[in-house]
């Protein structure tokens, strides 16, 4: 392992480090042993990640003298529900954890969200470590302590704010990630530039192609910058009473599109966010808040790396403007009956808007559907 970088998330007694580097999986045992938990350590992963990376982590724990066992779940979003959670909690309890045992989430956001929620609730709270293995999980879901599962009423509606003790983001594991998943994670990377870091966005315009091609240095810089941005926001607003909502740029539109496509393989979360960010910029332009050139720049860059920026690839059944607006009303982020949007005054100038005329939104969606 060479040249890992550490970012600290400052939350008082619940502060933790986010370590980013290549080869961290080999090093995980020593870093976990240093946390000093009682046995057992229970590593949870999914079948896909288990086949690729579980042996490395278990071997590293064994080498560090840590008594560890593993639980392997079926991969994918369909596991992240009450049935999957019950299966996970039962399997963890079979391992007879104590209050001072430790869970390890080895996988993408699905595993991280489920294991975090299990950690929050088992024995009323035990510690957990995140080892995110998708780009999306490394730059977004493993940091910040949002945990939870989906219900038939919608995504992530049952959960808890519960921070990990440590995050180990090994950028080397991105080598095995399918390109489409890597690209989806890249949308969240670009998001940080678009929210409040125009210099990072300019860097991405020059180097984003290297990131999505899996270049080690470019990936590490992208993950470090993203984690630093997320850590700053979360340290200032852990429970999303204010500025943390900026991280939802593209997500009001994105979640509606995901819901209409059934959260299935037609549209990955990051792809929906890419389309959603383009729509948020376009809405900002239509409302006279943002120069058209900035919106065009955002769209150009996302398209250049290979992300969708419109509804072209979606089934026509998923693009009905009225249905999409109806989904926005059911979103977790509705406050006093008003839908929250993150809009922008330019690249890196995002802000929270709560008084948007939904007729304007519907008109925008109508035009986007007609263009598809
Ligand atoms: N908690 C948060 O703050 C937060 C933020 C954003 C998203 N999320 C949640 O994260 C989830 C999406 O996360 P995701 O995109 O990581 O999905 P995921 O966990 O389903 O992973 C995507 C796919 O990639 C596979 N995979 C993972 N790592 C791999 C690797 N290194 N090599 C090869 N294959 C690998 C997985 O098996 C899976 O099939 C959603 O449930 C979303 O709600 C949570
Ligand atoms: Zn997201």
Point out the ligand nearest to the CA of residue 76: 1
pLDDT value of residue 51: 98
Q: What is the pLDDT of residues 178-220, one digit of tens each?
A: 999 999 999 999 999 999 999 999 999 999 999 999 999 999 9
pLDDT tens-digit map of 217-241? 999 999 999 999 999 999 999 999 9
Asked whether the predicted pLDDT for residue 53 surpasses 90, the reply is: yes
CA 248 to ligand 2 centroid distance, Å: 7
Does residue 188 carry a catalytic annotation?
Answer: yes
Q: What are phi and psi of 338, to 5 degrees?
A: -105, 140
Percentage of the residues of the chain whose pLDDT score is greater than 70:
99
pLDDT exceeds cutoff 90 at 152: no
Q: Is the pLDDT of residue 315 over 80?
A: yes
Query: Does residue 144's CB lie within 6 angstroms of at least one atom of ligand 1?
Result: yes
From the CB of 47, is ligand 1 less than 6 Å away?
Answer: no
Give the pLDDT band of residue 2 (cuts 50, 70, 90).
low
- Closest to 102 measured CA to CA, from 8, 36, 58: 36
pLDDT tens-digit profile of 318-341? Answer: 999 999 999 998 876 677 778 999
CB-based contact 220:20 (threshold 8 Å): yes
Instruction: Tell me the average pLDDT of the chain.
Output: 95
This prediction's pTM? 0.97
């Amino acid at each position: 392992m060479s040249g890992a970088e550490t970012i600290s998330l400052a939350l008082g007694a619940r502060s933790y480090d986010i370590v980013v580097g290549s080869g961290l999986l080999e090093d995980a045992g020593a870093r976990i042993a240093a946390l000093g938990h009682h046995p057992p350590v229970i590593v949870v992963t999914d079948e896909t990640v288990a086949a690729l990376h579980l042996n490395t982590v278990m071997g590293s724990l064994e080498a560090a003298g840590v008594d560890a066992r593993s639980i392997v779940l079926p991969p994918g979003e369909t596991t992240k529900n009450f049935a999957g959670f019950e299966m996970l909690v039962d399997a963890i309890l079979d391992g007879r954890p104590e209050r001072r045992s430790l869970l390890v989430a080895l996988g993408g956001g699905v595993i991280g969200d489920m294991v975090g929620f299990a950690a929050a609730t088992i024995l009323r709270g035990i510690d957990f470590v995140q080892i995110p293995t998708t780009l999306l999980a490394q730059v977004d879901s493993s940091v910040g302590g949002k945990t939870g599962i989906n219900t038939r009423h919608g995504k992530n509606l049952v959960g808890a704010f519960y921070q990990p003790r440590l995050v180990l983001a090994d950028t080397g594991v991105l080598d095995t990630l399918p390109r489409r998943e890597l690209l989806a994670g890249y949308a969240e990377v670009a998001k940080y530039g678009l929210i409040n870091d125009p210099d990072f966005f300019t860097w991405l315009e020059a180097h984003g192609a290297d990131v999505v091609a899996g270049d080690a240095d470019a990936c590490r810089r992208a993950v470090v910058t993203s984690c630093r941005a997320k850590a700053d926001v979360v340290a200032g607003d852990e429970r999303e009473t204010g500025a943390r909502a900026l991280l939802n740029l593209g997500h009001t539109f994105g979640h509606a599109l995901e819901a209409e496509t059934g959260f299935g393989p037609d549209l990955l979360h990051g792809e929906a966010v890419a389309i959603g960010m383009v729509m948020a910029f376009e809405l900002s332009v239509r409302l006279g808040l943002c120069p058209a050139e900035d919106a065009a720049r955002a769209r150009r860059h996302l398209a250049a790396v290979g992300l969708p920026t419109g509804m072209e690839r979606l089934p026509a059944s998923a693009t009905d403007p009225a249905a999409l607006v109806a989904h926005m009303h059911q979103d977790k982020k509705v406050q006093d009956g008003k839908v929250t949007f993150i809009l922008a005054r330019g690249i890196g100038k995002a802000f929270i808007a709560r008084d948007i005329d939904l007729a304007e939104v519907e008109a925008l969606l109508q035009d986007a559907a007609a263009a598809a």
